């Protein structure tokens, strides 16, 4: 979930300053919020995980270029996504205070800012890493903006489609390290892909009324009872357990990592199963969301550490 821009809080924080300075601070914060900082941070972290898991000869210049290029690419995609969805955002309570609908940043300013970031990110990756990493960044931006974003207004399968660009950053990191794509890199892609489905189902169930108001046919909007939402969450959670254990079965990691992945995966699956109880589904959705937040950094950290100890 991206940070929601709180216009009132910015105005209050700046109330003691001259008007022109207050406006400047609010606008700067608005441009920052356009980049969807939390989502961008996740993209950067998973790209770095892809780089570290590849176990290359450490090159700080390449790592710095990977970090900057991925951050710019992710921020640009987030900005242009908000530019494309500026009309929809006005209809949703959780998004109408974003910088564009709140009037903090103009649509033209957001468009220019997004284009600069989307061009700069792949350019930094091409210059500081390699063309494959840059190409994957372009593919991430394009699939997020030109496939996932319009599909949110058309089909309940948009979540699954949107999980593809969300799972590409580890491959960007792997490509930056190796110059090609390997099996373990694709396993990381599969882990990120599967993780996103229960993670987003928990969010979308919590905010399903908002999505319905915005006329987005997300699965939690179409599936009024929530039975299909539960099945999708449970299925992809167990797929996640399987994908997370593949590095052990393929001899990329030891059972030290495998034990961590199995325990975290079972806990995640239990939380997904609890989501099936209709009388407490709202609370279970929040618990499933927090389980997903715990799961990902725990398992990825265990994977990086295990690979580092094996090197």
For residue range 43-101, what is the model confidence (pLDDT) as tens digits? 999 999 999 999 767 789 999 999 999 999 999 999 999 999 999 999 888 888 999 99
Specify whether 203 is located in the same domain as 160.
no
Angle between helix axes 227-249 and 255-274 (nearest 10 degrees) is: 180
37: tokens are: 């900082």
What pLDDT is stored for residue 22 in this prediction? 67
Asked which of 146, 180, 214 is the last residue of a domain, the reply is 180
Q: Which of 56-60, 253-257, 300-304 has the lowest mean pLDDT?
A: 56-60
* 104/228 same-domain check: no
What range does the domain containing 297 cover? Answer: 182-311
The verdict on 107 and 211 lying in the same domain is no
21 and 157 in a single domain? The answer is yes
pLDDT at 6 over 80: no
pTM for this prediction? 0.90
Rounded CA gap, 218 and 4, in Å?
20
| Lowest-pLDDT choice from 19-28, 65-74, 196-205, 248-257 | 19-28
**What integer pLDDT is reported at residue 13 of this predicted model?**
34
Q: Which residues are within 8 A (CB) of 162 and not within 5 positions of it... i.e. 6 or more apart?
A: 144, 148, 151, 152, 196, 200
Of 123, 154, 180, the residue at which a domain comes to its end is 180
3-state secondary structure (DSSP) of residue 56:
coil
Query: The domain spanning residue 153 has which CATH number?
Result: 1.10.357.140
Percent of the chain surpassing pLDDT 90: 73
Radius of gyration, CA atoms only, the chain: 20
Q: Decide if 185 contacts 46 (C-beta within 8 A).
A: no
Q: CB–CB of 148/158 below 8 Å?
A: yes
**The tokens 């990381």 sit on which residue?**
188
* 89/188 same-domain check: no
pLDDT number for residue 16: 35
Domain count, the chain: 2
Final residue in a domain of this structure, among 180, 203, 238? 180
Distance CA 307, CA 102 (A): 46
Report CA dihedral (262, 265, 266, 269) to the nearest 10 degrees: -160
For residue 24, the model assigns a pLDDT of: 79
Residues comprising the chain, all counted: 311
Which is more confident, 264 or 213? Answer: 264
Task: Indicate if 191 and 301 belong to the same structural domain.
Answer: yes
- 19 with 136, same domain: the answer is yes
Question: CA quadruple 163, 164, 170, 172: dihedral positive or negative?
Answer: negative
Q: Do 225 and 275 belong together in one domain?
A: yes
Kindly state whether residues 110 and 162 are assigned to the same domain. Answer: yes
Q: What's the CATH number where 311 sits?
A: 1.20.120
Asked if 219 and 252 sit in the same domain, the reply is yes
Q: How far is it, in rounded angstroms, from Cα 248 to Cα 187?
A: 11
């Amino acid at each position: 979930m991206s940070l929601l821009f709180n216009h009132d809080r910015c105005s209050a924080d700046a109330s003691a300053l001259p008007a022109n300075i207050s406006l400047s601070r609010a606008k700067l914060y608005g441009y920052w919020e356009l980049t969807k900082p939390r989502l961008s941070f996740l993209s950067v972290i998973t790209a770095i995980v892809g780089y570290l898991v590849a176990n290359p000869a450490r090159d700080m210049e390449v790592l710095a270029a990977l970090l900057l290029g991925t951050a710019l690419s992710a921020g640009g995609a987030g900005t242009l996504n908000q530019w494309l969805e500026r009309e929809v955002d006005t209809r949703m309570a959780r998004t109408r205070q974003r910088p564009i609908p709140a009037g903090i940043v103009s649509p033209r300013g957001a468009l220019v800012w997004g284009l600069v970031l989307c061009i700069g990110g792949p350019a930094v990756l091409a210059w500081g890493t390699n063309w494959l990493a840059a190409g994957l960044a372009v593919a991430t931006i394009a699939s997020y903006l030109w496939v996932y974003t319009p599909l949110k207004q058309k089909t309940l399968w948009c979540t699954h489609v949107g999980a593809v660009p969300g799972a590409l950053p580890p491959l960007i990191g792997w490509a930056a390290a190796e110059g090609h794509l390997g099996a373990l890199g694709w396993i990381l892609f599969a882990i990120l892909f599967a993780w996103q489905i229960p993670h987003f189902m928990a969010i979308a169930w919590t905010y399903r009324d908002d999505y319905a108001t915005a006329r987005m046919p997300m699965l939690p909007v179409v599936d009024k009872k929530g039975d299909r939402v539960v099945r999708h969450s449970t299925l992809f959670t167990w797929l996640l357990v399987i994908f997370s254990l593949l590095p052990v079965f393929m001899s990329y990691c030891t059972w030290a990592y495998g034990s961590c992945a199995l325990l975290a995966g079972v806990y995640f699956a239990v939380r997904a199963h609890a989501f099936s109880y209709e009388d407490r589904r709202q609370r279970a959705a929040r618990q499933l969301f927090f389980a997903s937040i715990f799961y990902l950094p725990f398992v990825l950290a265990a994977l990086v550490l295990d690979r580092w100890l094996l090197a």
